[in-house]
Structure 1
Amino acid sequence: MKALTANRLIDGEVVFWREGQWVERFADAQLFDDDAAAQEAEAHGKNQPTVVIDAYLIDLVDADGIWAPLSYRERIRALGPTNHQHHGKQAEGGEVVEALLHASGAARSSGRVNLIKRK
C-alpha cells in the first residue's frame, strides 16, 4: 500500500494526494494498492511544479488496522512538529493520529530513495 506526498509551495505544508487534489491530513489521503494507479498519480503530482515540490510515493504499513507511513520520517511529516504533542496535526487526535504515533518501521520509503537518487 502506498500514498503520495509532497510539500505545498505557497506555505511548505506537507500535503497528500486524494483523487486529483492535495489535502493536508494523512487521514484524508488516497491509498493505492495498485502500482500503476500510484505511479499515474505520482506523475500527475510531479506535473504541478507551481503547486507542490518533490511529489513522491511513500510505503505504508498496517498499524493496528489503520495504514500509516512505514518510515519514521514520513510519520513525523504526517504528524507535524515533534516538539510537543499539542502542536501540529497531532494535536487533533483521533484514531489515525494514534496509529501514526504507534506505528513501527524504520525503512525509508522507496519513493523517497528514488527522489534522492535523482538529485
Structure 2
Amino acid sequence: MKALTANRLDDGEVVFWNRGAWVERFADAELFANDASGEAAEGAGKSQPNTVIDVYLIDLIESEGLWAPLSFRERIRALGPLNHPTHGKQAEGGAAIEALRHAAGASRSTGRVNLIKRK
C-alpha cells in the first residue's frame, strides 16, 4: 500500500492526498493498492504547484490493524512535532495515532528516494 504526501506551501504543514484534495491527517489519506493508481494521484497532486511542494508516494505497513508509513521519517511527519506528547497531531490521540507510534520499520520510502534522485 502507498499514500501520497507533500508539504503545503502557505504554512509548511505535512498533507496527504484524499480523492482530489489535500488533508492534514494521515488517517484521512487515500491509500493506493498499486503503483499505477498511486502514480496517477501523484500526477494530480503535482498539478497543484501553488498549493503544495515535494509531492511523493510513501510506502505503508500494517500496524495494529491500521496502516502506517514504513519509514521512521514519514511516521514523524504524520505525527507532527515529537518534542512533547501534547504537541502536534499526536496530541489528538486515538487508534490511528497509536498505530503510527507503534509501527516498526526504518526503511526509506521509495517515493522519497526517487524524489532525491530526481534533484
Q: TM-score range by the shorter chain?
A: over 0.9
- What residue is the counterpart of 1:53 in the other structure? 53
Gaps of 5+ in 2: none
- Secondary structure at the aligned position of 1:56 is classed as strand
Residues 86-116 of structure 1: CA deviation (Å, up to 9, x unaligned): 1000000000000000000000000000000
Q: Which moved more, 1:44-53 or 1:1-10?
A: 44-53
Structure 1 partner of 2:40: 40
1:1-119 aligned at under 5 Å gives the runs 1-119=1-119
SS in 1 for 2:38: helix
User: How many angstroms does 1:47 deviate by?
Assistant: 1.6
Q: Distance in 1 between matches of 2:118 and 2:22?
A: 23
**1:34 positional shift:** 2.3
Query: How much does 1:60 deviate?
Result: 0.1
Q: How big is the shift at 1:46?
A: 1.2
Separation in structure 2 between the aligned mates of residue 34 and residue 104 of structure 1, nearest angstrom: 22
Please, what TM-score do these two structures have when normalized by structure 2?
0.99
What is the identity percentage for the equivalent residue pairs of Structure 1 and Structure 2? Answer: 72
Question: RMSD in angstroms over aligned alpha carbons?
Answer: 0.5
Unaligned runs of 5+ residues in structure 1 are none
Aligned residues: 119
DSSP 3-state at the match of 1:91: helix
What is the TM-score with the length of structure 1 in the denominator?
0.99
1:68 Cα deviation from its structure 2 partner: 0.1
Deviation at 1:35, TM superposition (A): 1.6
1:26 & 1:19 partners in 2: Cα distance? 13
* Structure 1 residue 64: Cα displacement: 1.4
SS in 2 for 1:6: strand
